[in-house]
């Protein structure tokens, strides 16, 4: 697991992650708010935060569900090291596609912005394996349309977006995976969230700061100076009075295990 490029990227980003993760925190806050509307504060079961990173959601969950037993799993150990817990939540180094948890041991599975790095079918199979029958899953993940401005700038600069950007699944692929599983959807909502940046470096930094700058496999070809200049020029053509746009297409899912 140590050579996994996504894992290495998150390990490198760990120390600056929280400062760069405003969008991630906004998405996580909304997810926990949605959960809370359906699940009262006196919930006492086992809650798993899958892809817990530095533990932002674990802290929010601790406040929202003080009587629940909290578990976090993440495969980037440097992200877990940033999680300084005043609580008794257990943060475990492990892979979402091979969870180090027993069958039917979890009462609620939540995950915020981690599944886009995973094979949806594998992550879903594992979620279903560890969830108790009748238990709920709450999830946010990124789908196609994410970073569409960057993809368009790459194309305008005659560069291949596929060589530099993570391929996100189609929204329908994720929905279909749930509908064909033993965990049909209760709700699914797709919402683009656009962040604005003063310049290209700040924008790239916002992606790098959350470890989201690597393809899951193969070596990423570095851009030479001329290609980078063309890319910046193409991105500048997208500037509006608010700055340079970067859109995340966020899919929020609520499902229940049969
Ligand atoms: C963008 S961060 C989100 C962290 C946290 N959920 C939050 O909202 O702040 C994505 C996290 O998913 C983790 N991750 C990605 N793929 C994973 C996998 N296959 N198994 C475990 N963790 C994974 C990364 O290490 C990273 O910490």
pLDDT, tens digit (0-9, with 9 covering 90-100), for 130-183: 999 999 999 999 999 999 999 999 999 999 888 888 888 999 999 999 999 989
- Across the chain, what does the average pLDDT equal? 90
Give the phi and the psi of residue 241 in degrees, each rounded to 5.
-60, -25
- Residue 27 Cα: closest atom of ligand 1: 8
Cα 184 from chain centroid?
Answer: 21
Which residues face 190 on adjacent strands? Answer: 251
The whole-angstrom separation of Cα 181 and Cα 171 is 16
**Ligand 1 probe mutation, 6, 10, 211, most atoms within 8 A of CB:** 10
Q: Is 21 exposed, middle or buried (0-12, 13-18, 19+ CB in 10 A)?
A: buried
Does domain 5-144+167-194+247-256 match CATH 3.90.1720.10? no
Q: 243 forms bridges with which residues in the sheet?
A: 240
Rounded Cα–Cα distance for residues 55 and 73 (Å): 10
Q: How far is the CA of 239 from the centre of ligand 1 (A)?
A: 30
* Residues 101-109, mean pLDDT to the nearest whole number: 98
218 has a pLDDT exceeding 60: no
Ligand 1 centroid to residue 258 C-alpha, Å: 26
**C-alpha span between 144 and 35 (Å, rounded):** 24
Q: 46 has which bridge partners?
A: 69
Q: How far, in whole angstroms, is CA 236 from its chain's centroid?
A: 27
Please give the number of the atom of ligand 1 that sits closest to the Cα of 97. 19
Residue-range domain boundaries for the chain: 5-144+167-194+247-256
Whether the pLDDT of residue 95 is over 90: the answer is yes
Task: Say what the pTM is.
Answer: 0.93
- Smallest CA separation from ligand 1 atom 20, residue: 95
Q: Ligand 1: residues within 6 Å at CB?
A: 6, 10, 21, 24, 28, 51-53, 56-57, 74-76, 79, 95-97, 112-114, 117-118, 210
What was the pLDDT predicted at 197? 93
pLDDT at position 19: 63
| Residue owning the nearest CA to atom 1 of ligand 1 | 113
- Give the whole-angstrom CA distance, residue 177 versus residue 108: 19
């Amino acid at each position: 697991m140590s050579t996994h490029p996504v894992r290495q990227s998150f390990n490198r980003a760990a120390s600056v992650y929280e400062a760069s993760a405003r969008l991630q925190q906004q998405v996580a806050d909304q997810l926990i708010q949605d959960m809370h509307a359906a699940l009262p504060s006196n919930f006492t079961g086992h809650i798993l935060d899958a892809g817990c990173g530095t533990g932002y959601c674990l802290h929010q969950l601790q406040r929202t569900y003080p009587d629940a037993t909290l578990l976090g799993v993440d495969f980037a150990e440097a992200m877990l090291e940033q999680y300084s817990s005043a609580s008794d939540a257990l943060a475990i180094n492990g892979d979402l596609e091979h969870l180090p948890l027993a069958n039917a041991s979890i009462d609620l599975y939540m995950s915020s912005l981690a599944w886009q790095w995973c094979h949806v079918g594998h992550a879903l199979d594992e979620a279903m394996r560890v969830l108790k029958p009748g238990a709920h899953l709450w999830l946010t993940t990124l789908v196609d349309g994410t970073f569409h401005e960057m993809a368009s700038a790459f194309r305008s600069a005659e560069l291949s977006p596929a060589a530099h950007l993570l391929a996100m699944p189609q929204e329908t692929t994720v929905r279909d995976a749930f509908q064909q599983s033993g965990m049909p959807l209760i709700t699914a909502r797709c919402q683009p969230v656009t962040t604005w940046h003063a310049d290209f470096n700040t924008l790239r930094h916002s992606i790098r700061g959350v470890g989201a700058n690597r393809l899951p496999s193969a070596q990423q070809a570095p851009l030479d100076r001329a290609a980078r200049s063309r890319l910046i020029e193409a991105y500048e053509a997208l500037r509006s009075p608010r700055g340079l746009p970067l859109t995340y297409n966020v899919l929020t899912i609520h499902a229940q295990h049969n």
